[in-house]
Structure 1
Amino acid sequence: MNKVSVIIPMYNSDKSIRRLLNELSEQTYQNSEYIIVDDGSKDESYSIVKKYIEETHDNRFELYHQENKGVSSARNLGLQHASGEYLIFIDADDKIEKLFIEKYVNKIKSTKSDITIFPINVISSLSSDKDKIVINNSLINKDNITVKDLLSNIFAGYIDTYLFGFIFKRSLWKNVFFNERIAYKEDYLSICTILFNNVNCKIVSGSEPYYWYCDNQFGLSGVYTKKRVEDGLYVSKLIVKKLCSEKSALYGLAVGACLVAELESINFAVDSDDDKLFRKHSDEFINLFKKAKFVSKKTKIKRQIQYFLLKSNLYKISHYLKRK
């Protein structure tokens, strides 16, 4: 039975971590190590996990503590301690089904693949699933996904790079770490880096979701912070620059994805009443638009309208009206 390393960064999760510990303990797949990294929690999270391990004597659990450095740093510490053949990431605020690890491992083993991607259940509250939606199901049950296919779906927005939707061969993460300077799209950057570094790796997909992602912003839109928009744009531009230098066929799709990051910056500038920032990112959007490619006609038309509104100085009015 192949060993699986499960990395769980934790920060102020005392309201949910007990439930997750029980769900991990009840997993049908036994050969796992649960690497929990407390990122300087100010609540009782660390004490709860420590007590649980002492009371259960379950040697699958490993607990580490560091001062608050962010989720990327916590995951990097987890990677340093991982020893399994396969690698899974979990967030401490979510929930998993009993078959979660078993299904992930069985799929990647039976197909002899390097990466397997699964659909994800998204809910707004752990206490109810009445508003559940399923994401990352555009490539359901396919056993011959190329790196180009997956990147195309990521850039088009059909696949989100939430780490808990993937199981990886740990060898793919050799010399790959999370950028600790960014707090948004750090997973996006790491997964793209792995795909860029392993263009011939075998990728397959599962058909059913076994992970429940609790999105506290579920149903909300336009939630931006300066750090978020800066990090998102930094990552998007980094990927565009790399693909441009390689004259990749994916360059146009990456530019299309970068337009979304530019729009987040534009909307943040409008909401912050920062005209200088608005003009800067408006000009960048207009210049990038001509280089972009789009998978769907609907997305292309949407970006064309946004391009027209920015060119004709009508975007702010449109944005304000949408907020009403």
Structure 2
Amino acid sequence: MISVIIPCYNAELTLNRCFESLKKQTYQDLELIFIDDGSTDNTLKLLKSIKKNQPDMTIIIKTQKNQGVSAARNAGLQLATREYIAFVDPDDWVDPQFFSTLIKGMTDDVDLSVVGVLKSTDKQSNKKLITQDTLSSSAYFERMFRDVQVKGYVCNKLYRFDIIQQHVLFFRKEVSVMEDLEFNTHYWHFIRAASISSAQLYHYQIEDNSAMNATWSDKKKTVIQAFDFMRTNGVLPKFQSEILELDYVRSLLWLVGQLYRKGSREDIAANEEMIFQLLRQKKRLFLYKGYKTGLKYYISYLIFLINKKMLRIIIR
């Protein structure tokens, strides 16, 4: 029923933990597709050992030159054969009920199933009563941008493979930041409804060297391309378009924060004004509705309008 795509790059330290969590699933009809994306450590050796020692499990291994996580996920989609698609990262792990909860949400008129995420930086899990709601595609769009348990992750979701195939959906290799959100917004155009469980069953390990947290590089600017693609994936009604543009400004504020904290003087000189110009373009919308992105970002934007130098001091 489910093809699980696991893109691997130098994952020898966490791969066994991830695999063991997949092995212990209460839902067992899984096809595990490991893509070794040009690892230089013992990742491939571990994968071969896992496959050899688990003859009763459906395990596929493909190796390729290092091309990034998007290319690895795309390679997994080319190999998938099951009705549903899931993505798991090798430095993360999942609770035993992860797939059984996701598959439970996939009723006849639901095209996307979602569970909650527990980040390694979270002090505690959500102990509230577990709920499972079915939302219209319109209501889900807002949750995707504003609910921290839903967001644009691909790893806490279950997709219908026929939708991905019919509409030729894939991950943009040229985008290094928010490529998953771009994929999700494209998929959203074709869903009738989404099911969301509040159970935090996906454990997301935040690494210092991840694309979101690493030192400054021009790859971080691809977040701008991600939103350009999102605008061209299909026509959005006004309400959804505003949500997208508000998150675009929030992402630009994140980008300038990354530039100030982790960039050199040369990086700042080369990129600061370009980001500022993009921020100014959304002035009217963000002044009226930017508070919906959170007080931190709204105040940051107001400071940017009043005194750009003060923004740099506060962010640092």
After TM superposition, is the score higher than 0.5? yes
Match for residue 123 of structure 2?
A: 131
**SS at 2:56 equivalent:** coil
Match for residue 47 of structure 1?
A: 45
Which of 190, 200, 204 matches 1:213? 204
Extract unaligned runs of 5+ from structure 2: none
Which of 181, 202, 221 matches 1:188? 181
User: What pairs with 1:141-156 in structure 2 (closer than 5 Å)?
Assistant: 141-143=132-134, 145-156=135-146
TM-score normalised over the length of structure 1: 0.83
Task: Give 2:114's aligned amino acid.
Answer: I
CA distance in 2, matches of 1:266, 1:296: 17
1:256 correspondence with 2:246:
yes
Note the C-alpha offset of 1:152: 1.8
CA distance in 1, matches of 2:194, 2:313: 43
CA distance in 1, matches of 2:282, 2:232: 12
Note the C-alpha offset of 1:214: 0.9
Note the C-alpha offset of 1:263: 1.4
Note the C-alpha offset of 1:288: 0.9
Is contact 2:2–2:84 with CA below 8 Å preserved after alignment?
yes
CA distance in 1, matches of 2:292, 2:160: 36
Match for residue 278 of structure 1?
A: 272
Is contact 2:83–2:162 with CA below 8 Å preserved after alignment?
yes
Q: Deviations over 1:29-64 (max 9, x none)?
A: 221100111101111011011012112323411111
User: What pairs with 1:1-324 in structure 2 (closer than 5 Å)?
Assistant: 3-109=1-107, 112-124=109-121, 131-133=123-125, 140-143=131-134, 145-156=135-146, 158=148, 159-174=150-165, 175-196=168-189, 198=190, 200-217=191-208, 225-240=216-231, 248-271=238-261, 272=263, 273=265, 274-275=268-269, 277-292=271-286, 297=291, 299=293, 302-303=296-297, 305-312=299-306, 314-323=307-316
**SS at 1:142 equivalent:** strand
**SS at 2:285 equivalent:** coil
Note the C-alpha offset of 1:269: 4.3
Q: Deviations over 1:273-308 (max 9, x none)?
A: 324522222122122121348778464765554344
CA distance in 2, matches of 1:37, 1:322: 38
TM-score normalised over the length of structure 2: 0.85
CA distance in 2, matches of 1:301, 1:47: 48
Note the C-alpha offset of 1:179: 0.7
Note the C-alpha offset of 1:133: 4.9
CA distance in 2, matches of 1:242, 1:72: 17
Is contact 2:186–2:233 with CA below 8 Å preserved after alignment?
no
**SS at 1:177 equivalent:** coil
Task: Give 1:230's aligned amino acid.
Answer: K
Note the C-alpha offset of 1:189: 0.5
- Alignment root-mean-square deviation, CA: 2.9
Note the C-alpha offset of 1:97: 1.7
**SS at 2:174 equivalent:** coil
Is contact 2:117–2:204 with CA below 8 Å preserved after alignment?
yes
Q: Deviations over 1:160-179 (max 9, x none)?
A: 21111111111121110111
Alpha-carbon spacing, 1:18–1:311, altered in 2? closer, same or farther (3 Å): closer
Extract unaligned runs of 5+ from structure 1: 125-129
Q: How many residues are aligned here? A: 306
Alpha-carbon spacing, 1:9–1:132, altered in 2? closer, same or farther (3 Å): farther
CA distance in 1, matches of 2:246, 2:34: 37
